[in-house]
Amino acid sequence: MTAKRVAVLGSTGSIGTQTLDVAWRHPDKIQIVALAANHSVETVVEQAHEFRVRNVAFGDETMRDHAMLANVHEGVSVGFGQQGILDLVHSDDVDCVVNALVGAAGMRASYETLAAGKQLALANKESLVVAGDLIMPLAKQLDEAAGHPWALMPIDSEHGAIYQCLLGERHEEVAALWVTASGGPFRGRTRDQLSGMTAKEALAHPTWKMGPKITIDSSTLMNKGLEVIEAHHLFDMPYDRIKVVVQPQSAIHSMVEYSDGSVKAHLGTTDMRIPIQFALSYPDRWDAPVEPMDFTKLGKLEFYPVDEETFRCFALAKRAGATGGTLPCVMNAANEVAVAAFLADRCGYLDIDACVEHAMDAHEVQAVESLDQLAEIDAWARAVSREYLGVA
């Protein structure tokens, strides 16, 4: 078996480092050939030495003069800016791109990966949330040419779970997709209680260890709204057949309900290396990267409805998805600005959903036509959101 040659975009983040751990455990199956990050030069250099990669890139152009780049081993190509990252995607040495870039910055990399005929292992939510109308047709074309689904593998506990529950089943017999949510650190709180929450409190996720942006999104339940939009695109499922349930133990990663009343649930340990590994190994299954779940110690499984009135980001994301067009782009951009401001202590917790709603209400929805169009709307939404919050 020839090792799959993998480029990891966002190699220094939570998903990126766990992807490298999976590769380290399976050196005969995965060869890391390229790494990209925004500005974590020291970490990328260390990773480049460990995996002996020949191509690295940094999204931040100012990293060109970083002293640590002198320590990259001989023969390594170093790129900068968005073009530097896209050059990795188009490299003939790459079979599969793991896109773990944070935010809208990863969207063009996803598009170019599929346009180049490469497999995309996707952990960047914004790619489908904002540009699903452009990206999914590319994936479907590649799947049709290959004669089986392989072009786009989700790196996500929920969508990876749904993907596995759908294997061998007929699409027309699916009654509903059930996306599970932990409920985040503020489950059960009221709007009044949320008003004074700090970034430190919001970052204390009860079950998952993730990066700061996605952890805040999990606390507001924006993350779950984004996942509903992703599920719509990934599985070609109408919004009225995508449901969300709070499952605090995070033992059930998602479920699929069928027309005969049967429900398939995907259960497992709360460790992202499991869905990462499946995305890279499919259709094979490799040895587990973590200890399997001990069901004798699980104790209980609880299920609750989502409190959409308290966690308004969830309702706003659903509204953006159902409306479609360019509204998800505006919603996503406003959320990124508001979350960044909240993490920098420049706005309150409830200002996040207020900012998102303000930008969405100010936008005149258009049909999605191109990545350039989405980039312009993204920039507009960020400017509107910064003005609303009073941040530079």
Angular region, 8: left φ>0, alpha ψ -120 to 50, beta rest:
beta
Whether residues 178 and 204 fall in one domain: yes
218 is in an annotated binding site: yes
340 inside domain: yes
- Whether residue 152 is predicted with pLDDT greater than 70 in this model: the reply is yes
- Whether residue 93 is predicted with pLDDT greater than 90 in this model: the reply is yes
Tens of pLDDT along 324-335?
Answer: 999 999 999 999
Average pLDDT over residues 229-234: 98
Q: Which residues contact 104 (CB under 8 A, 6 or more apart)?
A: 126, 130, 332, 333, 336, 378
Tens of pLDDT along 35-63?
Answer: 999 989 999 999 999 999 999 999 999 99
103 is in an annotated binding site: no
How far is 146 from 70, CA to CA, in rounded Å? 42
332 is in an annotated binding site: no
pLDDT of residue 255: 98
Number of structural domains the chain divides into: 3
pLDDT grade for 126, boundaries at 50, 70 and 90: confident
How far is 163 from 173, CA to CA, in rounded Å? 15
pLDDT of residue 345: 95
Whether residues 49 and 175 fall in one domain: no
User: Could you list the residue range(s) of the whole structural domain that residue 224 is in?
Assistant: 156-270+291-312
Strands (E), the chain: 4-9, 30-37, 55-58, 77-80, 96-99, 119-122, 152-154, 174-181, 242-246, 252-258, 263-267
pLDDT grade for 87, boundaries at 50, 70 and 90: very high
Average pLDDT over residues 73-86: 88
Average pLDDT over residues 199-219: 83
Q: Which residues contact 323 (CB under 8 A, 6 or more apart)?
A: 365
Tens of pLDDT along 281-292?
Answer: 999 999 989 888
Residue 69: HSE in the Cβ half-sphere, 13 Å Cα cutoff: 16
How far is 243 from 194, CA to CA, in rounded Å? 25
Whether residues 346 and 246 fall in one domain: no
- Whether residue 74 is predicted with pLDDT greater than 80 in this model: the reply is no
Sign of the Cα torsion 13, 15, 18, 24 reads negative
Average pLDDT over residues 303-312: 96
317 token code pair: 């994301």
Whether residues 146 and 224 fall in one domain: no
- Whether residue 100 is predicted with pLDDT greater than 90 in this model: the reply is yes
125 is in an annotated binding site: yes
- Whether residue 1 is predicted with pLDDT greater than 90 in this model: the reply is no
Which residue in the block uniquely carries the two structure tokens 């990126």? 16
124 is in an annotated binding site: yes
Whether residues 177 and 81 fall in one domain: no
- Whether residue 392 is predicted with pLDDT greater than 80 in this model: the reply is no
CATH, residue 151: 3.40.50.720
Whether residues 130 and 186 fall in one domain: no
223 is in an annotated binding site: yes
Of 108, 136, 155, the last residue of a domain is 155
Pairing between strand 55-58 and 30-37? parallel
Whether residues 49 and 177 fall in one domain: no
Q: With contact defined as beta carbons under 8 Å apart, do 278 and 186 qualify?
A: no
Strand order in the sheet with 263-267: 242-246, 174-181, 252-258, 263-267
Residue 115: HSE in the Cβ half-sphere, 13 Å Cα cutoff: 13
- Whether residue 273 is predicted with pLDDT greater than 80 in this model: the reply is yes
12 is in an annotated binding site: yes
Mean pLDDT for all residues in the chain: 94
Of 125, 155, 185, the last residue of a domain is 155
Average pLDDT over residues 75-92: 93
Q: What one-character-per-residue DSSP string does 323-356 give?
A: H-TTHHHHHHHHHHHHHHHHHTTSS-TTHHHHHH
279 inside domain: no
pLDDT of residue 105: 74
How far is 195 from 214, CA to CA, in rounded Å? 20
Average pLDDT over residues 311-336: 97
How far is 217 from 339, CA to CA, in rounded Å? 8
Whether residues 201 and 129 fall in one domain: no
Which burial class, exposed, middle or buried, applies to 361 when counting CB atoms under 10 A from its CB (0-12, 13-18, 19+)?
Answer: exposed
pLDDT of residue 208: 63
156 is in an annotated binding site: yes
State pTM to two decimals. 0.94
SS3 76: coil
pLDDT grade for 374, boundaries at 50, 70 and 90: very high
157 is in an annotated binding site: yes
Tens of pLDDT along 238-265?
Answer: 999 999 999 999 999 999 999 999 999 9
Whether residues 150 and 160 fall in one domain: no
Average pLDDT over residues 95-107: 89
Report percent pLDDT > 90 for the chain. Answer: 85
55 is in an annotated binding site: no
CATH, residue 330: 1.10.1740.10
Please indicate whether residue 100 or residue 206 has the higher confidence score (pLDDT).
Answer: 100
Which residue in the block uniquely carries the two structure tokens 């188009």? 90
Average pLDDT over residues 83-110: 93
pLDDT of residue 73: 64
Angle of helix 327-343 relative to helix 222-234, nearest 10 degrees? Answer: 150
Whether residues 170 and 305 fall in one domain: yes
Tens of pLDDT along 177-195?
Answer: 999 999 988 999 999 999 9
Please indicate whether residue 315 or residue 297 has the higher confidence score (pLDDT).
Answer: 315
Rg of the chain over Cα atoms, rounded to whole angstroms, equals 20
Average pLDDT over residues 85-91: 96
How far is 382 from 119, CA to CA, in rounded Å? 31
Average pLDDT over residues 268-280: 94
Whether residues 95 and 74 fall in one domain: yes
